[in-house]
Structure 1
Amino acid sequence: MEPVEVPRRSLLTAVTPAKDGAPATGLRALPLLPALTPAGRRSRVPPGRSGRVFGELRMRWSFDLTCRDADATAKVNFQERAGEILIHVDYRPFRGGLILNRLTGGEWQEEKLLWTPKEGNPADTINVTVETFESGRIVLRHPGGTENVDWTDAHTLGTCRIWLEGTVVRGAEAAEDSAELRGWRLYEKPSGFPCGNAKLRAKSEPGVLEPGLSFIIRARNEARTVEACIRSIAGLGDEIVFVDNASEDGTGLIAEKLKSGIFELKTFSYPHRLPKVGAAHAREVLSGGSNTLGHFYNWCLAQSGRMNFVKWDADYIAIRQNLAEMIGLYSLRTRADNFALWFSGLEVYTDGSRLWVDRESRHAEFRAFSLQHGTQWVNLPPWEEIDQRSLYRAQKLFYRKPVYLEIFRLDGTEFDDRGLFTEDRRDAERQEIVATFRKSGRLPERFREIASLTDAGLAETPLSAQEIELSHHFDKRFRARPKIHARKTKTLHPAEAVPQNEYAVFILSCQKNADRQRVIRESWGHDLDRLGIPHYFIIGRPAQPTQLIGDVLYVNCPDSYEFLASKVLAAIEYSMSVMNVDYFMKIDDDCVFDPYRFQAAEYSKYDYVGGGFAGGDNAGIDWHLGKCHNEQLDLVPYFREPGFNWVGGQYGYMLSRKARYLLVKQADRMRSSLYEDYIVARILAERGIEPVFSFGSQRSALYSDQWDEMSNVCLISDVPSAAKMREVYRKFVGEDAGDRWAWEFTGSHEAIWDWMDIEAVRQKLGV
């Protein structure tokens, strides 16, 4: 029995078929999609559907096709392995309407017009649905009615690969989720062919790397841009690792001379000639060779000595204003957590004397990462990529202003050294632009001539709408669960079907509690690292801006007890303005947390949920007595509304984006409260958000309770000392807990990180 894949929801854009009718793999950052085999799910055709019902419904695919301008088109294709396209649906509202066709024997058949939108008022988005029935019949439902598809059968259609062009959203279906399936975070198999080295593997050991940011530059025959490239980033990071790859035009010598004035620059030589992207690279990878782009990139990365790095190309010229802003905003020189930062730039074409910027530039990549947390490249047949495990686990950040200018030469030598992969639409378009210019001297109308690479308007030039859309696509893709193969049931759970509901843990602490912080780092903080869950200690540092240094979020307020609410508010504001997580989890530094058990927690349905109850009929609260820096507060009783209940701060609580937004809107009230947990509940209750006590099947307990006799406990609070915290962790969680949970998942499941169908690529490239 073959694995069955449950239908998924996905957004794919800008994929163009090759001239022979075969599908392109799309943008380089959107690899070739594997064959999709939808699951048969029995259900009746919904009441009110037009058209004949052919027995029981077996399979159903639904698509929303969107076209918002005169040139737009949106297409759906069902393709057999042999290459024939059994169903080709093309929506072009301004040029006909909804078209049905098929590719048979390498030739397109006669188009059939299914539906024409109202004249002068075409619909932006329409829905088409393909349904198969037990009888073997197939129908296509569309705004104009139904169409029988009688040239194929349901079984054949069910084995087809589905690929999309333009803006197409595939309809959502119910998808299974469970604590067992959430164990994918512990799956260690890489997304491609591994190509690391011992020096690189050692980088993730504690104490090996220094804090800071390294720019990694790989170059071959870039003498015309290398000096401008390096000077444009000088002083913005802590290290520049420049690797010359057997250049023949003096690139390496130019970089070497710059070291006398750019002191963070380190130069290296990698003398091996590398195969170009595409078939040559695929042959080397699939034969098990080591002369690959992935091996080269990882060798370059191994020369870095800093915790974080940026993948920077030798033909990039920084837009310094935006690059400096991005580095500061995301604390790239000081942070020590696991992250992946997406940023982009503008393409600039030159004939040697004039410059033109492409206002529809597309790059679509994550380019800044944590080396400390093991990020590295793997090989795919046509090229290299960052191991997708890192992208799924890391906190995904996005900076949507142009950070660099990528220089393209119009003299015809642009692709001589790096090669090109024509299945990548961007490379194909660039090649066409260069060829057209050499033939006629013309450039696309979207190009704008600029006076120089320091043109003041470049920093304010917006990224293209398609680039922004792609960034949101990557956010959606990697903040959802990856594809999972359940071996026992032989079920393939699709990617993007279940959001991760990512959360970050903020640990309320202070400078004097360094011993507790150390225990947390060595125990359950390490477990959070293994799962890829970001976590930070909140510590006050008055009169200085909020900044992330290592795993400490320093906030601009005093570090004493009476400012707990101000510290939590500052962390909430940081999570909303800089981070990209769905939930904010607040925990005290006297807790022991089991993040593996918390995998079974339920919180995504609620805005405000916590591990335990506080409140009651007593109107006075005296927990602050003897703890405040201002001793006069010991004489000030704190009153609250009798009978009002809230989540006790010692039990831990989680806040959705909506809840955090409402709290930030009431910032002054937050800052004026002695008790952060009480004022959080008070503000949210006024907005109709009541607390939910317990994390679904999981809950919190006090150290004074008989916690070792309780079931479903994920957090123990009020542990009296750092030594006791270590003792409780060993008994409650266990130092081998991660290995046990990983073994349990990998024994019955496989996480499939990447969408590239290796066998399909092998056949396509003929290797």
Structure 2
Amino acid sequence: MNTATRSPDLVIPSIEGHPGYDVSWPREAASLERGVTAVLRVRNEARNLPWALPPLLRSGYRIVVVDNGSDDGTADVARRVAAEHGATDRVEVTAYPFTISRCGDEHLRTHERSVHSLAHFYNWSFAHVRTAYSLKWDGDMVLTDEGVATFADLAWQLEHVEAVVSMPRHPLFVESPSVAYLDRYLINVEEYLFPMGEAYRHVKAFEWEMRMVPRGTERLRLPEGLCVELKHLDSDEFDHWDGQAAFGSTERTRRKAREWQVFSELRAGRGAQLAGVERIEAPAGVHVVDHVAHTWLPAQRRPLTVPPHEREPRTAS
């Protein structure tokens, strides 16, 4: 890091006056080390982290895990996985003790600089990054083998450019250790990889937070098939929303309505009635998440997502 020329950080204080949770955001990426740091803001992701963390480590990335009030040993699992992969020097585990406003109306009622705000929580979490690029990652997102190779290449390709990278991810609804369902109708493309710097901080937006991107910034889009998002049918995958009424009210949230529909139908045992949802069964002795990430998904023809004009008109009753 070139500390001799680094300008003072942008300081974003919380309105509650908690100095330890004020944000010190770097002014520019040029003053930071080369490379990428993945930031995972997690709560009760103990069973997912053994799948989520190793591919990121194989990509060569540093990782910051911010535990937000887990009661299932999430932080301990993150430390254990790092130790098992000989990567304790690349994984930082920290904690954020405040309850975060849920997406939707609750979020809209919360001041942007409150310690309970998604925007402030994200800024505080990403302010731990000491590399020029940061990767927004969730504790339930798993890179495929193809994704690992792609992310490893990105680390050096982005060294001399300033770009924002988006990627499709595919929801994988996990029924059991041997059976899961992939939704081929859901198109979910988000921006995940960002330069650091004042111009790329998080701000309050409708439904949830949003990362600023300066006008004219170069944008890259990765292909399908690099990542799955785990949704366990035996858990509450929507407890960070303050109600189903928030789904589908904007373009950004229409995908949540589809996720809710598929999740609900599968839990009710009506998955066969839902067009676009494919059942996947793993071979004996192989967990279905490993099967999808290492074998099934890489072997699928592209595009993985069914184009709208080719979709069946029927829906679940």
Aligned to 1:439: 268
Partner of residue 75, structure 2 = 252
User: Which residue of the other structure, out of 405, 409, 414, is the alignment partner of 2:232?
Assistant: 409
Aligned counterpart, 2:11:
none
Q: Is the contact made by 1:285 and 1:381 (CA closer than 8 Å) also made in structure 2?
A: no
Task: Tell me what 2:111 maps to.
Answer: 285
Q: Select which of 370, 379, 384 maps to 2:209.
A: 384
What is the distance in 2 between the residues matched to 1:463 and 1:285?
40
| Mapped partners of 2:202, 2:137: distance in 1 | 14
Q: Kindly tell me: are residues 238 and 376 of structure 1, through their superposed partners in 2, closer, same or farther at Cα, counting changes over 3 Å?
A: same
Q: What corresponds to 1:448 in structure 2?
A: 278
1:254/1:239 Cα in 2 relative to 1: closer, same or farther (>3 Å)? same
Provide structure 2 residue ranges, at least 5 long, that are not aligned to the other structure: 1-13, 16-20, 283-287, 309-317
Residue 43 (structure 2) aligns with: 220
Within 5 Å, give how 1:141-290 maps onto structure 2. 198-200=23-25, 202-204=26-28, 206-207=30-31, 209-260=32-83, 261-263=86-88, 264-285=90-111, 289-290=114-115
Aligned-partner Cα distance in 2 for 1:449–1:435: 15
Residue ranges of structure 1 left out of the alignment (5+ in a row) = 1-193, 468-767
1:643-701 superposed Cα distances (whole Å, 9 cap, x missing partner): xxxxxxxxxxxxxxxxxxxxxxxxxxxxxxxxxxxxxxxxxxxxxxxxxxxxxxxxxxx
Distance change (3 Å), C-alpha of 1:332 and 1:294 = farther
Give the corresponding residue for 1:522: none
Residues 79-117 of structure 1, C-alpha deviation per residue, up to 9 Å, x if partnerless? xxxxxxxxxxxxxxxxxxxxxxxxxxxxxxxxxxxxxxx
Query: What secondary structure, in the 3-state scheme, does the structure 1 residue paired with 2:238 have?
Result: coil
Question: For the residues of structure 2 that align with 1:373 and 1:459, how far apart are their CA atoms?
Answer: 37
Q: Which has the higher contact order (CA 8 A, sep 6+)?
A: 2
Counterpart Cα distance in 1 of 2:61 and 2:268: 45
1: CA distance between counterparts of 2:155 and 2:240? Answer: 35
- 1:337 paired residue number: 161
CA–CA distance in 2 between the matches of 1:418 and 1:265?
A: 29
1:31-56 CA-to-partner distances (Å, cap 9, x unmatched) read xxxxxxxxxxxxxxxxxxxxxxxxxx
**Separation in 1, partners of 2:43, 2:163:** 29
Once residues 272 and 299 of structure 1 are traced to their aligned partners in structure 2, the CA distance between those partners, rounded to angstroms, is: 12
2:305 counterpart of 1:464: yes
Tell me: CA distance 1:406–1:244, structure 2 relative to 1, closer, same or farther (3 Å): same
Q: Distance in 2 between matches of 1:333 and 1:265?
A: 23
What SS does structure 2 have at the residue aligned with 1:241? strand
Matched, 1:314 2:139: yes
* Superposition map of 1:91-102 within 5 A: none
Q: Distance in 1 between matches of 2:149 and 2:181?
A: 24
Q: CA deviation at 1:212?
A: 0.6
CA positional deviation for 1:304: 0.8
Aligned to 2:173: 349
| Residues in 2 aligned to 1:341 and 1:250: alpha-carbon distance in whole angstroms | 32
Displacement of 1:299 in angstroms is 0.8
Query: 2 CA distance for matches of 1:275 and 1:363?
Result: 23
Aligned position for 1:370:
195
Structure 1 position 465, deviation (Å): 4.9
Q: What is the one-letter code of the residue matched to 2:139?
A: A
Is contact 1:284–1:291 with CA below 8 Å preserved after alignment?
yes
The aligned residue for residue 4 of structure 2 is none
Tell me if 1:429 matches 2:270.
no
- The match for 1:360 among 169, 175, 185 is 185
Q: Whole-Å Cα distance in 1 between the matches of residues 276 and 52 of structure 2?
A: 25
- Give the match for residue 599 of structure 1: none
Find the residue that maps to 1:393 and give its secondary structure: coil
CA spacing shift, 1:206–1:427, aligned 2, 3 Å: closer
CA–CA separation in structure 1 for the residues paired with 2:29 and 2:148: 29
Deviation at 1:206, TM superposition (A): 4.8
Q: What residue in structure 1 maps to residue 119 of structure 2?
A: 294
Q: Would you say the 8 A contact 2:38–2:63 is kept in 1?
A: yes
The aligned amino acid for 1:246 is G
**Deviation readout 1:460-516 (Å, 9 max, x if unpaired):** 54342559xxxxxxxxxxxxxxxxxxxxxxxxxxxxxxxxxxxxxxxxxxxxxxxxx
Taking structure 1 as reference, are residues 463 and 439 closer, same or farther at Cα in structure 2, changes over 3 Å only? Answer: closer
Q: CA–CA distance in 1 between the matches of 2:80 and 2:57?
A: 14
Task: Provide the secondary structure at the position in 2 that maps to 1:416.
Answer: coil
Shift of 1:364: 1.9
Q: Supply the distance in 1 between the matched residues of 2:269 and 2:306 (Cα, whole angstroms).
A: 29
- Structure 1 residues 332 and 271: CA distance shift in structure 2, 3 A: farther
Q: Which amino acid aligns with 1:276?
A: R
TM-score, length basis structure 1: 0.33
CA contact (8 A) 2:103 2:240 kept: no
Deviation at 1:320, TM superposition (A): 2.6
Paired residue secondary structure (1:317): strand
In the comparison of the two structures, how many residue pairs are matched? Answer: 268
Change (3 A) 1:224 1:299: same
CA displacement at 1:442 relative to structure 2: 2.7
Asked whether the 8 Å contact 1:337–1:373 carries over to 2, the reply is: no
Structure 2 counterpart SS, 1:448: strand
- What RMSD in Å do the two structures reach over aligned CA positions? 2.7
Aligned counterparts of 2:307 and 2:128: Cα–Cα separation in 1: 35
Quick one: distance in 2 between partners of 1:350 and 1:373? Answer: 39
CA contact (8 A) 2:173 2:181 kept: yes
C-alpha distance in 2 between matches for 1:449 and 1:205: 44
Distance 1:205 1:442 in 2: 46
**TM-score (normalised: structure 2):** 0.76
1:325 is displaced (CA, Å) by 2.3
Contact 1:222 1:251 in 2 (8 A): yes
The residue type paired with residue 257 of structure 1 is R
Residue identity in the other structure for 2:159:
R
| Match in the other structure for 1:608 | none
Structure having the higher Rg: 1
1:243/1:267 contact within 8 Å kept: yes
Render the CA deviation track for 1:435-471: whole Å, top value 9, x for unaligned. 223334434232222222233231254342559xxxx
Report the identity percentage.
23
Q: Partners of 1:227 and 1:418 in 2: how far apart?
A: 25
Kept after mapping to 2: 8 A contact 1:343/1:400: yes
Cα distance in 2 between the residues matched to 1:445 and 1:465: 11
Distance in 2 of aligned mates of 1:220 and 1:323 = 24
